[in-house]
Structure 1
Amino acid sequence: MQQSLAAFSNPLPVSSGRCEIALPQITLDVCVNAATMDQDGNLSQELITQTSQQGDGAMQLNPDGNQWTSLTKIESSLCYLLTVRVIRARNIHQADVLSHTDCYVSLWLPTASNDKFQTKAIKNCKDPVWNETFYFRIQSQVKNVLELALYDKDVVTQDDHLFTVYFDIAKLSLGEEVFMHFKCDSQRQEELEVGFALDNISGPPETIITNGVLVSRKICCLEVQVVEKKKKEKKSKKEFSFKVQGSYEGTQDIVLGSNLVFSSSSPAKFHYARYKQPTLDVTLPAKKQPPSSHSRVYDTGLPNVELHSIPSGKNMILAEDKRFDLYAKAEDCPDHLDVRLGFDLCKQEKDFLSKRKNYVIPALKKVLQLEQDLLDHETPVVAVMTTGGGMRSLTALYGSLRGLKKLNVLDCATYLTGLSGTTWTMSNLYRDAEWSRKDLDKQISEARKHMTKCKINSFSLEYLKYYKKQLSQRKREGRKTSFIDLWGLVLESFLHDGKDNHRLSDQQWAIDRGQNPLPIYTAVNVKNNYSTLDFKEWVEFTPYEVGLQKYGVFVRTEDFGSEFFMGRLMKKVPESRICFLEGIWSSLFSFNVLYIWNLSHSSEDFWHRWTRDQIDNIEEEPPLPSQPQELRTRLFTPPGPLGRALRSALTDRACIAQEHNFLRGFQMHSDYLENTHFRRWKDTVLDTFPNQLTQSDEFLSLVDTGFFINTSIMPLLKPERKVDVILHLNYSAGSQIQPLDQTCKYCAEQGIIFPKVDLSEEDRKHLKECYLFDGAETPGAPVLLFFPLVNDTFQKYKAPGQRRSESEMEDGKVDLYGCCSPYSTYSLQYTEKEYDRLVQLGEYNILNNEDLIIQALRTAVARKRQIKK
């Protein structure tokens, strides 16, 4: 280490200066040797030796952890000392009109520090020389990408951002030092010169919790207490302010007054990541406030306290005063996580699958007319998958399910998935714990009542007051409310009589014996300033869990919407009533201009030059040995004012549902891009920018899955669910085949096994009621039964094999997609006749294709038996 740092001592002639190693809020005028770390990995000031050029750095503490999930690894992992020396830049283009740039470099390594560090600004110089050194303590099992941003400092206006270099620390070899020349613009010969060294540091390794994609690190809890010494009859209120940068709580205040007794049971608490070695900033109340002043005056004489200096589990006096004493105590938080890290199915779903077979096996025996029951390994997993389509999909799904029930196929199904309007049907059905054991006539009749009623009453003064009260309550609970919440309340009034207290977790009692298929609801997580094609992540909701399969992270359904930090539950928020989730699952109002353009032109390619970040791979000298998991060094060039304005206009969504992010605080594993689970769903422009992925966001931004592909099939393609047969019930507007085509294209791009869909041009112009794609040419693919919502033989037949009489021909005229169709996606009310016809059509199309359904089930059983052989 001594040699490594010595190599940075004087690479070019500069005047002598100093090197500042910045622990948060504390500056030491030293250069650190690796040997100056004590056994806890902290700086030992007694061993500090030599001086060097000016700079800043951040040193982190070791976290610890534990986890109970079998698929989650508990690893002991080394930390390293990263030394970064920002040396100089050359030929920087002129950003100001009248002078050269006043350059400085900002360093951002969020996996090591809460703070951004920066060099001093060199005035009016196109070839600035800084020669400043920074230190970071990094975790070797975390993907550490250093962002070096060059700015032009301006006094009046905001500093101009010239470019940012993204450098993956995985390129560095332990114990070696390198001087990198980043070629930022070959034409202007712009370059940034930076030196790097990576060395071991003393102290125990760090224990991390990881599923191979996400990493959880140790957090601690700090308690701060104020105890008064004197009590006077008359005294003014005293307010203490405490701040821990980067903690979950941020800043907290304690107020002492004549009518307030401070209790030791209610100290100010802070949860913070131990490895970031933060400080406690204390602002004391003023000893005496001038009578003429109306503002608070503070005595800020108390120095900032480094939290690693507080003994674990013991009270420590931070300050003593004749008026009060200030105490602090830091303790490690429990090792277990409150989220589930892993890609396997949760225990409850596995138990459900075992119980569901007790219903599926007898049903398959009856449907397939078998002489004996199927064995477990011969029993296919059948799923019913739906698409969205507003009230049209709600209504048609009732008919489809009644048809499946009459064929006894509904009892063969293990999963039922939905999005948009079909989630309204599903959430209604699962209020009844035995719904699939019944004929569904009661549910269909109840839905008819609400589908045919006048909706104008939902906007009456009485309802508006109710909406306001409900939104205010959600805000008091700590939620970030939006128009989507109001839409959920409006849906509640459309589909129910009065307030609906049903919650998603309540549906557990409808599957506790395996008596109904397991419902899965879908949404997508998006990002501001990105189109849905550029960034979307699948989110699934079941009565047991809510999670993102891409990251392998799930929370209990009861905890969705609560606040998490590094996988720990920080603040429990009451579970949302299901109407608010229905608003998210069918958020018709989360559109943007690019989505509208895509509907009419089937491509966003024309706008990509305006809406995508300008990212280029850049050359680096010297070339470093290639590592399997490393990222290319890249250059980001920010857009100009016109580009930013146009991008905002194209990508901003009208409104969006935001829920507290249960991934908050996690870090990406160093090998996350090589993880097979992550790679299956890796399809966004930010997947190779770990600092900008979802774990860094405070909120999830959720929209209707239809804004990407109008399908709920993705949870069924999770290999762990082993789905063998999918009944694809399509209720889309416009092209009936488009969602299936888009699914095929997506699966091909992602390498997800999916059957080949081969339809002739004639079929595409005149779709039949059902198509069977057995996936014979794609080993491992599920058998797919595709049911487009079409009015084909139903025009002449009221039931399979029963022709309509002349007086009944009118009932077969169901105008689904004409310009005057009553079944528009945006229709909110049907007549009784319109409702009944659509239900009957959905039922008929299922019943009329019984042979294809049985063929699909027989094919799946045969394949299961062949695999066993």
Structure 2
Amino acid sequence: MGVLICKICACFYLSNCSCHQDLDMRFGFELCSQEMTFLRKRKRYVASALKNVFHLQQDLQDFEVPVVAIITTGGGLKSMTGLYGSLMGLKKLNLLDCVSYISGLSGTTWTMANLYRDAYWSQKDLDSHIGEAQKQATKCKMGCFSMDRMKYYDKQLCQRKEEGYRTSFIDLWGLMIEYLLNDGKDPHKLSEQQEALCDGQNPLPIYVSVSVRDSYSTNDFKEWVEFTPYEVGLLKYGAFVRTEHFGSEFFMGRLLKKLPESRICYLQGDVLHYLGREPLWRGFFSPPLDEDPVLPTRPHELRTRMYTPPGPLSSALRGALTDRFSVAQHHNFLKGYQLHNNYLENEHFCRWKDTVLDSRPNELMQNADHLGMIDAGFFINTSSPPLLRPQREVDVIIYLTFWVLYKAYKYYSEQKIPFPKISLTDEDKKNLKECYLFHDSDLPGCPIVIFLPLVNDTFREYKAPGVKRCCSEMEGGQLDLTSRFSPYCMFSVRYTDENYRRLLNLSEYNILNNSQMIMQALQIAIGLYRQRHRLGHFCICFVP
């Protein structure tokens, strides 16, 4: 019977039928029960914070409380440091408790992972967290390549392989990230962050990745994957597994082999630039690592060569040099399923239908043993897709980024996902301002977007909102964020203390200096909720 079942594939489409209730994974586009419970608890914090910020005489009713999300983009140490500064600014404005979600990728996940070790981080002063981050950002990184560290990497990769994981360069890079951001081994796991959500005391963190296939470019095939402390899931299929089960072996929705949950450093490894399908150094090394040269042969002889099985460390290094090295491999929790034709008619599936295989269900999910995961920054560098799921009903987005939103806006327009039109003047395109508000009131379900690009504008002359710099302080406002010689370039792994503090202060200043626009967006959202509530009562009174 065991031999037969492994050859059976189940066709499925989204429904609420009872056949899904006894599976070890969840099918459905609705939010999981844990997240819904969290949102009910979080609403108390948001309502109280809004009452204090706007000096309201009465408590907000549940229907008046908007859902606010912070969306970030990647960028190594720059995005990590920038997010700390932005959160510090929101904390000083008493607006951090108004936020229900924070989404991140690449460098901003480093900030999030560090903060969520503390179960009550947003209820405390952030100085200790920021100080620790500064210590790690400014320390010498050369020890990352010491012989002792290499032995440690090899031991950790061997252990991971023995646990049942498929190791790659991404796992090696994750271990390096662990060293770059910590004094020692970081034992934390993503599911442990549930402790930071138990009372709704912090925003819910969402980490974003993209699933790809080896035989397709990222533009041709990519599927959004979200990671929360509760679940990991593919947005397009509405298929989710418990976070502690991600990476374990599944078949037809059943958990066949439980693997130990990955340490969070292995989920942080996807930070390198994507260089396409072609190997990075193919042709530069001959023979390939771990192999002897091919021996000369006669026409009637077989080609022979000696092969030495590589260890996990050398395999990871070889993958970095000869493969699509930025792909992490995880057991495919959808193994055993084939898509039913009716599945393609599901409105939620169509929302994320954007690959070359989306019209061919038999090829879309072909029982691949592993899911290939890459950094979402390799596509449009945004962590916003999970926050645009209609089930999350996000009203206000605080969008923290280094780039203009055109790519994201164009993508959502093509997908027919409600998102306000991003319109900038020619002057703005040349010199971005610190803050923009985009709102399309005629588009149902469209969030209000506060766009806060990381730019150095009025900070050059002001050290705080309304407080001009004196002559001796002008140097503190000089930050080169964009040139090729900038200390904040993508690949910088070490800042000076001065560079770290300047970037931190700039990020905080841009939030503080544009507080009125952020609060304007919150007021609009509250007003829209009240208006809809009044219209609902009107309809109830007059519809027979």
Instruction: Mark the CA change 1:743 to 1:855 in structure 2 (over 3 Å): closer, same or farther.
Output: same
* CA distance, structure 2, for counterparts of residue 438 and residue 838 of structure 1: 22
> Do the aligned residues in 2 keep the contact of 1:723 with 1:782 (CA within 8 Å)?
yes
Matches within 5 A, 1:267-278: none
For 1:748, the equivalent position in structure 2 comes to 413
For 2:55, the equivalent position in structure 1 comes to 369
Q: CA deviation at 1:377?
A: 0.6
Structure 2 unaligned residues grouped into runs of 5+:
281-321, 535-544
Query: Which of 618, 641, 656 in structure 1 is aligned with 2:327?
Result: 656
**Does the residue aligned with 1:547 lie in a helix, a strand or coil?**
strand
Query: Which of 394, 401, 404 in structure 2 is aligned with 1:723?
Result: 394
Cα deviations by residue, 1:463-491 (Å, 9 ceiling, x for unpaired): 11111000000000111000000000000
* CA distance, structure 1, for counterparts of residue 462 and residue 389 of structure 2: 39
Instruction: Mark the CA change 1:397 to 1:854 in structure 2 (over 3 Å): closer, same or farther.
Output: same
Counterpart amino acid of residue 840 in structure 1: N
For 2:539, the equivalent position in structure 1 comes to none
Query: Which of 358, 368, 374 in structure 2 is aligned with 1:687?
Result: 358
Cα deviations by residue, 1:665-705 (Å, 9 ceiling, x for unpaired): 01212311110010000000011222222352110000000
> Do the aligned residues in 1 keep the contact of 2:169 with 2:325 (CA within 8 Å)?
no
Q: CA deviation at 1:592?
A: 1.4
Instruction: Mark the CA change 1:699 to 1:213 in structure 2 (over 3 Å): closer, same or farther.
Output: farther
For 1:592, the equivalent position in structure 2 comes to 276
For 1:509, the equivalent position in structure 2 comes to 195
Q: CA deviation at 1:212?
A: 4.5
Cα deviations by residue, 1:371-390 (Å, 9 ceiling, x for unpaired): 11111011000001100001
Normalising by structure 2, we get a TM-score of 0.87
Query: Which of 33, 40, 65 in structure 2 is aligned with 1:379?
Result: 65
> Do the aligned residues in 1 keep the contact of 2:480 with 2:487 (CA within 8 Å)?
yes
* CA distance, structure 1, for counterparts of residue 164 and residue 173 of structure 2: 19
Cα deviations by residue, 1:793-827 (Å, 9 ceiling, x for unpaired): 00000000000010000000011112221000100
> Do the aligned residues in 2 keep the contact of 1:212 with 1:672 (CA within 8 Å)?
no
* CA distance, structure 2, for counterparts of residue 809 and residue 439 of structure 1: 28
> Do the aligned residues in 1 keep the contact of 2:14 with 2:346 (CA within 8 Å)?
no
Counterpart amino acid of residue 822 in structure 1: P
Residue 214 (structure 2) pairs with residue 528 (structure 1): yes
* CA distance, structure 2, for counterparts of residue 214 and residue 372 of structure 1: 44
Residue 376 (structure 2) pairs with residue 705 (structure 1): yes
Counterpart amino acid of residue 493 in structure 1: Y
Instruction: Mark the CA change 1:754 to 1:412 in structure 2 (over 3 Å): closer, same or farther.
Output: same
Residue 199 (structure 2) pairs with residue 519 (structure 1): no
* CA distance, structure 2, for counterparts of residue 589 and residue 664 of structure 1: 29
> Do the aligned residues in 2 keep the contact of 1:383 with 1:416 (CA within 8 Å)?
yes
Counterpart amino acid of residue 800 in structure 1: P
Cα deviations by residue, 1:300-333 (Å, 9 ceiling, x for unpaired): xxxxxxxxxxxxxxxxxxxxxxxxxxxxxxxxxx
Residue 178 (structure 2) pairs with residue 492 (structure 1): yes
For 2:308, the equivalent position in structure 1 comes to none
For 2:283, the equivalent position in structure 1 comes to none
* CA distance, structure 2, for counterparts of residue 369 and residue 594 of structure 1: 58
* CA distance, structure 2, for counterparts of residue 339 and residue 703 of structure 1: 23
Counterpart amino acid of residue 211 in structure 1: L
For 2:84, the equivalent position in structure 1 comes to 398
**Does the residue aligned with 1:696 lie in a helix, a strand or coil?**
coil
Counterpart amino acid of residue 426 in structure 1: M
Counterpart amino acid of residue 673 in structure 1: L
Higher relative contact order (CA 8 A, sep 6+): 2
* CA distance, structure 2, for counterparts of residue 423 and residue 823 of structure 1: 18
* CA distance, structure 2, for counterparts of residue 541 and residue 213 of structure 1: 23
* CA distance, structure 2, for counterparts of residue 579 and residue 705 of structure 1: 17
Higher strand share: 1
Matches within 5 A, 1:138-177: 142=11
For 1:770, the equivalent position in structure 2 comes to 435
> Do the aligned residues in 2 keep the contact of 1:451 with 1:830 (CA within 8 Å)?
yes
Matches within 5 A, 1:49-128: none
* CA distance, structure 1, for counterparts of residue 178 and residue 489 of structure 2: 20
For 2:157, the equivalent position in structure 1 comes to 471
Runs of at least 4 residues of structure 1 off by over 4 A? 212-217, 593-596
For 2:343, the equivalent position in structure 1 comes to 672
Q: CA deviation at 1:215?
A: 12
Cα deviations by residue, 1:139-185 (Å, 9 ceiling, x for unpaired): 9xx4xxxxxxxxxxxxxxxxxxxxxxxxxxxxxxxxxxxxxxxxxxx
Matches within 5 A, 1:260-659: 336-584=22-270, 586=271, 588=272, 590-592=274-276, 653-659=324-330
* CA distance, structure 2, for counterparts of residue 215 and residue 748 of structure 1: 36
Residue 471 (structure 2) pairs with residue 787 (structure 1): no
Cα deviations by residue, 1:390-432 (Å, 9 ceiling, x for unpaired): 1100011100000000011110000000001000000000001
Instruction: Mark the CA change 1:592 to 1:839 in structure 2 (over 3 Å): closer, same or farther.
Output: same
* CA distance, structure 2, for counterparts of residue 433 and residue 655 of structure 1: 32
Counterpart amino acid of residue 377 in structure 2: G
Cα deviations by residue, 1:217-263 (Å, 9 ceiling, x for unpaired): 9xxxxxxxxxxxxxxxxxxxxxxxxxxxxxxxxxxxxxxxxxxxxxx
* CA distance, structure 2, for counterparts of residue 695 and residue 445 of structure 1: 48
Report the aligned-residue RMSD: 2.2
* CA distance, structure 1, for counterparts of residue 90 and residue 336 of structure 2: 45
Instruction: Mark the CA change 1:594 to 1:777 in structure 2 (over 3 Å): closer, same or farther.
Output: farther
Cα deviations by residue, 1:625-645 (Å, 9 ceiling, x for unpaired): xxxxxxxxxxxxxxxxxxxxx
> Do the aligned residues in 2 keep the contact of 1:453 with 1:829 (CA within 8 Å)?
yes
> Do the aligned residues in 2 keep the contact of 1:592 with 1:652 (CA within 8 Å)?
no
For 2:493, the equivalent position in structure 1 comes to 828
* CA distance, structure 1, for counterparts of residue 475 and residue 25 of structure 2: 56
Q: CA deviation at 1:593?
A: 5.9
Q: CA deviation at 1:549?
A: 1.3
**Does the residue aligned with 2:226 lie in a helix, a strand or coil?**
strand
Higher helix share: 2
* CA distance, structure 2, for counterparts of residue 396 and residue 386 of structure 1: 10
For 2:14, the equivalent position in structure 1 comes to 211
For 2:483, the equivalent position in structure 1 comes to 818
For 1:54, the equivalent position in structure 2 comes to none
Instruction: Mark the CA change 1:497 to 1:336 in structure 2 (over 3 Å): closer, same or farther.
Output: same
**Does the residue aligned with 1:786 lie in a helix, a strand or coil?**
strand
* CA distance, structure 1, for counterparts of residue 241 and residue 90 of structure 2: 33
For 1:98, the equivalent position in structure 2 comes to none
For 2:294, the equivalent position in structure 1 comes to none
Count of residues in correspondence between the two structures:
491
Cα deviations by residue, 1:350-377 (Å, 9 ceiling, x for unpaired): 0000000111101011112211111101
**Does the residue aligned with 1:583 lie in a helix, a strand or coil?**
coil
**Does the residue aligned with 2:100 lie in a helix, a strand or coil?**
strand
Instruction: Give the stretch that moved more between structures: 841-850 or 358-367.
Output: 358-367
* CA distance, structure 2, for counterparts of residue 727 and residue 215 of structure 1: 39
Matches within 5 A, 1:858-869: 858-869=523-534
Instruction: Mark the CA change 1:557 to 1:854 in structure 2 (over 3 Å): closer, same or farther.
Output: same
Instruction: Mark the CA change 1:377 to 1:510 in structure 2 (over 3 Å): closer, same or farther.
Output: same
* CA distance, structure 2, for counterparts of residue 707 and residue 775 of structure 1: 29
Q: CA deviation at 1:774?
A: 1.7
> Do the aligned residues in 2 keep the contact of 1:213 with 1:552 (CA within 8 Å)?
no
Q: CA deviation at 1:777?
A: 3.8
* CA distance, structure 2, for counterparts of residue 382 and residue 491 of structure 1: 30
Counterpart amino acid of residue 418 in structure 1: G
Larger radius of gyration: 1
Cα deviations by residue, 1:163-214 (Å, 9 ceiling, x for unpaired): xxxxxxxxxxxxxxxxxxxxxxxxxxxxxxxxxxxxxxxxxxxxxx752599
